[in-house]
Structures are given as C-alpha cells and as structure tokens.
Structure 1
Amino acid sequence: MSIRTKLMMLLLAMLVLILFLALAQGYQRSLARADALFDQHLQARTQLLFAVAPEALPKQQAQFWQRWQGDTLVGGSESLLAKVPPQGLQTINSQGQRLRIATYCQQQDCVVLGEPISERFALSEQLIIALMLPMLLGIALLAVFISLAVKRALQPLTLLSRELKTRAANDFSMLRTQAKASEIKPVVDTLNALLRRTEQAYLRERYFASDAAHELRTPLSAMKINLHNLLQRHNDEDAKALSLSVDRLNHLVEQMLALGRTSSQQWQDKLAKQSLAHICQQLIAELYPQIAQKNLDISLVGECREVIGEPFTLNVMLKNIISNAVKYTPANGRIAIHLADKGDNIELRVADSGPGIASELRERIFDRFFRVGGDSHPAHIPGAGLGLAIVQHVIGLYQGEVQLKQSEWGGLEVIITMAVQRETLCSD
C-alpha cells in the first residue's frame, strides 16, 4: 500500500470519527432543543384554546383536545383522558400511541391539548437533517481538498518513484527529480551518491574480466604453440598435463569473453526472428565428434515457433547447455532435447543420463566459477564454472526462466522458458 493511500486512509478515518462524534453530539443537543421548542409551542397553543370554540378546531386535532370544568368534561375527545391531569407538561399513552400533553387551568376551567410524539419527532429529524446536510457536504468537500493536498505534498516522492521504476538497470546517471522538501532532498542526494559508487563498481567488474581475458589470449596462444612444439620433441606425461592445463585456461578465457559480450546494449539492434530448433541442429552437428567418440544417443524432438532474439546470445546459451550435457554424460549415455510451444512461451528441455547435480547445490551452480566438488569434479572433467552462469545471464536478458531438475535417467534436466514475441532485451 502506498504512503499516499495510507495517509489518506488515516486522515479520512480521523475525519470520519470526529464527524461522527460531532454529529452524534449535535443530533442529541438539537433534538433536546427541538423538544423544548415544541413544548413551549404546545403550552402557548393550550393557552390560546380558551378563546377558541371547539368547533373551530381542525378535525385532526379534535381527538387530542379536552376542556374541563371542575371534574366534568365539557368538550373535546372523551377517550383522551378520564380525568383532569395536573397543570403542566407530561407524556402519556392514549389512543394506542404516545402523546405529549399540556394542561392549562384558570380557576376551575382547564384545557388539555396533546400531540403525537411520533409526529413531532419526525418533524424534529427533518429540521436537524436540513441543518446538518451542509455540514456533511462541507466534510466531503474537505476530504477532496485533503486528497489534493496530500497528492501535491507527495508529488516529489511520486516523481522519484516513477523515475526509479522506469530506469534501466545499467543507467547510473544522476536522478533528474528535483526535490526541495527537507524529507525528500536527503533521499535524492543519498541515492545519487549510491549511484555514483555503484557505477564505479559496475564498470570495474564489467571491464576487468573482459580486459583480462583479452590480455591473456596472446600469451595463451604463444604457450599453445610452444607446447605443441614441446610435445613434438618430448611426448611425456608432464607435457601432456601442462597442455591440458593450458586448454583449461584457454576455455576459461573464452567463457569470460563470452560472458562479457552478452550484454543487451550491444545486441539490441540485432534482434530478429530465430529458430531454436535450427540452432540446436547446428550445435549438435558441431559437437558430433565428441558425441560419436562417446557413442551417445542424442535426440532432438519438437518444432516450435521462432523467437525474437539475437544469434550470438542464443547460440552461447544453447551451446553451454548442450555441450555440458555432452561433456558430463558418460559413454553410451543418452541426451534428449525437446522443444515445445506453451502459448506465448517456448519451452526447451535438455535431459541427460550423467551424474546430475544434488538438489541442495542447484541454486549455487549458477554462481560464477562454482563447480560441484571444486577442482576435483566427480566426473574428472575440466571446466571453468561459468557455463550455467552464462546461461542464467542470457536468459535474464530475455526475461525468461531457467530451472534445474533430475532427469528420468537420474542425470540433469535443464528447462528454459522464454517468450516468443519479446521485442526488447532486458537491460543487464
């Protein structure tokens, strides 16, 4: 719930409570005052009856009027009272209703006049409501003014929230919202300072890995050439181990470069329709020597619609998934790739019969440079620990989802879900 909504609810609740108490108190006082005025009017009318003949009274009032001389009823309704009441005002039950009566006497001559309480109560309510209605309308108008005042007072916070909401994740420029309020200005200043520090840290992290990888490529190439020449002269175990280490380091450098290149601003203008099935077919053909060497049973099932994407990012993501399945699946194992339409989404499943990943490690496996067992991987296969980190990074650009499950053969099943028609990549 927003601050504006909470503040409005609080102010309106206080306003309604105060209004209710004021109206209740005013209603009671107004009703008491109206009763007093009606009583005065009833007494005045009773005194005037001495000068009025009975037949001159309105017919609807005849049943509520009596004239007594001593203890003898000489006029009016016989069912109103059986005897002369004391002089003054009192409330009685007569003729099936509650009446307010006034008695006025001069010597032995008395006049009694009554009126139904229900009628005077209805009239009192009409008068009170007529007096309080402008107050209710004024309160409603006040609520509107309070809402506008709160909206105006919170406008800097609203503008700040809107700017932060629409800002790209890699936009570290200073906030454009100009806040003069003493409560908002420190927040804007603190956020701007935080953005400056975050931008510096972001740039250091982003360019360090790619710059380091670029710098390493040249000496690595030279090392591979020298190792090749060394293996031609001395084909011993130490040279072979060194060659494997260089290959592993070269793989790490290539993965770091791939991770650095998969950023949305570099590929946003290269978006086009891409066929995941066609990319999978190309990757299987590219990896076929390894597949044939291990005698793996690999299958690609399903045709799905094309997605809006960029060739390099999709190729890197799918290559890491499929090549991992090929690397970690033992000889004579199975790999199944399945593509399916899911309405607005496409689902890609890659399942293998390899060692799999324990459920408690499936979240950490997306961390950069993390490998199950560290350098002593159970499958004794070299790797950099960046493959699934790159997969998660790329699928994040496409605002999709990646899940890891156990396959039907006890290995790993990677499930990718991404939208078919997403015209933009998410900012990284």
Structure 2
Amino acid sequence: MSIKKQLITLIISAVMLASFFSALYGYKNTVKQLDLIFDQELHSIATFVLNMSKSNQVLPSTADGVFAFQVFKNGKLVSKSEQMPNSKFNASSKYNNEVFFGGKRWKTYLLKEVNTEKDTIEVLVAQPMSSRIESAESILFVITTPLLFALPFIALIVFYIINKSLKPLVSLSQQLKNKNTDDLSEVSLTKPPIELAPVLNRLNQLFVRLSDSFDREKQLTANTAHELRTPISVLKINAHNIQKSFENNKLTNEEFTELQQNVDRMAHVIEQIIALYRFTPENFTQKTETVDLEVVLQDVIGSNFDLLSAHQQNIALDTDSKNSLLGNYFALYTLFENLLKNAIKYSGNKSEIKLTITHESNSITVSVEDSGPGMSNEELPKIYERFYRVDSQHSHIKGSGLGLSIVKHITTLHNGEISCSRSSLGGLCVTVTFPNILVGVE
C-alpha cells in the first residue's frame, strides 16, 4: 500500500472517528441538559396544577399527550388527566422515577404540600420518555447533519493536500524507477521540501561517488591491463631467452639480473595500483589523525637512503617548528615517497635534492626540488595523468607512470593543491600545499 493511500485512509478515518466521538459526546451532554430542562418543566407544571387545585379551579381531564397528572387530597384521587390510571403510583419528589402505563414509559415527579387546614395535597406529573428521546435525537440530527455534509469536502481537501505534499516524493520515486542500471546521473526536484532536501542531496552525492568510482575502476582496469602487458611480454621473452641459454649451456648472470629487474618493475606497478585503489574518499576520512610532516619526511628519506647512496645524491631537509596537520600517515608517506623516488630517478647521479616545509598563516607547504634536467612547460600539465610518462630525455628510465597520479589523488583527499615549476636547483620543483584548516599545531 502506498504512503499516499495510507495517509489518506488514516487521516479520513481519524476525522470520521473524531466526528463520531464529538457527536456522541455532544449527544450525551445534550441529553443531560435536556433532562434538566424537562425536569424543571415537570416541576413548573406540578406547581401550576397544585395552585389550581388549591384555588378549587377545574382542571382539564384531557391533555395533548405530552404531560399527564394526578391530584390526590388526603390520599384520595380528586382529579387526573385522561391518560393517567386511577391508582396511585409509588412516586417520590425525585426526578428519576419512571413508570409504565398506557403503553408508554413515563417519567414522574411528585409535588406534596400540606395546607393550613392540615390537608395533604399531592400532585403527580408525568411526561413520556419518548418526548425526551425525540427531542434529543432532533438536536443530534441538527448537530451531525453539517458534519455529514462536511466529511466529503474534508476528504477532498485531505486528498488535495496529501497529493500536493507528496508530489516531490512521487516525482523522486518515478525518476529512480525510470533509471536503468547504468544511469548514475543526478536526480532533481523543483523546490524540494525541507525534509526531502537532505535525502536528495545525499542521494545525488551517492550517485556522484558511484559514478566516479565506476569511472575510476573502468579507467584503472583498462590502463592497468595496458601497462601490465609490456612487463608480462618482457618476462616471457626473458623466460624464453633463459630457456634457450640453458639448452645451449650459455646461461649468464646478466640474464638473471635482467629477469629480476623486470620482475621488480612489474611488482612496482602492482604496488602502485594497489596504493591508488586504497586511498579512496570512502575509506580515507575514517583513518585521519594528527601527522607530523617532518617525521613523515624523515621516514621517507631513511627508507630510501640506500637508493640515494647508489645514485651518489645529496639530500637536505629544511623545516620549521609548525609542521603538523590532520591526515593519514600512510597516505602522506606514500605521497612524499613517490615524489622523492621521482626526484631520485629523474635527477640523475650526483644530483642535489632538497625537501622544504614552510608554514604560513593560511597554509602549510612541502616542496621537493632536484637539480636534474627538469621538464618542459608543455609536459608539466600532463604529468598527473595515470600511466603518463615523459618520452624525451627520460624515455630510457623505466616506471609505471602512476606516481604523480597517486600524489595528486592523495593531495586532493587532504584538500590540498599540487603544482610543478622550475626548481631553484635547476630541475623540477613539486609543491604540495595544505590549507590552514587542516593544520594540527599552531
């Protein structure tokens, strides 16, 4: 059952029940008030009959059927209306006495008085109960008739209001229903209600994240397959060459060294792909902490010191006292390790590498510089693309082309910015800037 039908059914049912109980309550109060009025009327008629009897006036023996009376003097019936029997009822001066005669139920009232001659005069007045019930029912009819006529209009108003209020929800439901499995476009509503706006925003955010995730997976899958094709082919060639050399008893250490290098290259590509997949917006925010960038850079330098020594490169680390931010240690370590390895790889032997941390009022910046040949202005915008590699003076250097793509991705997760320029040392300078809102230590 739809929400619209449920709301309409519940509201109309509630209105009908409220109207019913209101009419019932009104009927009970009306009957109560009518009883008081009729009781007072019985008292007035009894007083009137008593006064006429005392003045010896002749009372009519017939009545219109609405009231009946008996008059007793010293216990003897002296006058009565036509409907009343000759016998005396066992009545009291209270209003709650009911008797049955003439085929009707009557409510009686007894008025007794002793005159100066010590004669006891009793007047018994009776009224049919049907008169009271008919009066109450006529009033109830007057009360409920407007409600009965108003209920259809109330139902129409309820239907209109609910239909109009649920129109955005129905529109959203229809848009989602019409979407196919490949459609991750955002849904939109004209002037969505306040209660539905957060749902719409979250839903669109989910669609954007899913779309980005699917695009990322498709691109990564296609590019990974393309990138792994070369090292796999090279490994096949190495395996073939080793087999031939083994058959000819001409195996050399160089062939195993080349095989090891190609295996390392393939392992590096796979490691980079895993790192790129690990740092996604979905799982990053749950792993943030206060990170000291100086400690991160020291760990990165220590882990790659053997590689620096092998290339006979000098490295310097320049920091200030304010270098902490809110982030993920492993992600930042991966970021700066990629930058340092690129500097080691592309700056050449006996080069200079410099890491600098600077803190300003609204940002904290880390720059990685080298004294290598650098890059042309045409190549700088492309270096962040996945699997892009420079094809000029660095074409002889093996790599996956994923390093700076991972660097930019991690920087974005930290709400930072990355830029490349010419280094003061003559090579490439990569600058990563984090906003002040993430600075953990002032």
TM-score tier after normalising by the smaller chain length? 0.3 to 0.5
Q: If the length of structure 2 is used for normalisation, what is the TM-score?
A: 0.46
Pair member with larger Rg: 2
Q: If the length of structure 1 is used for normalisation, what is the TM-score?
A: 0.48
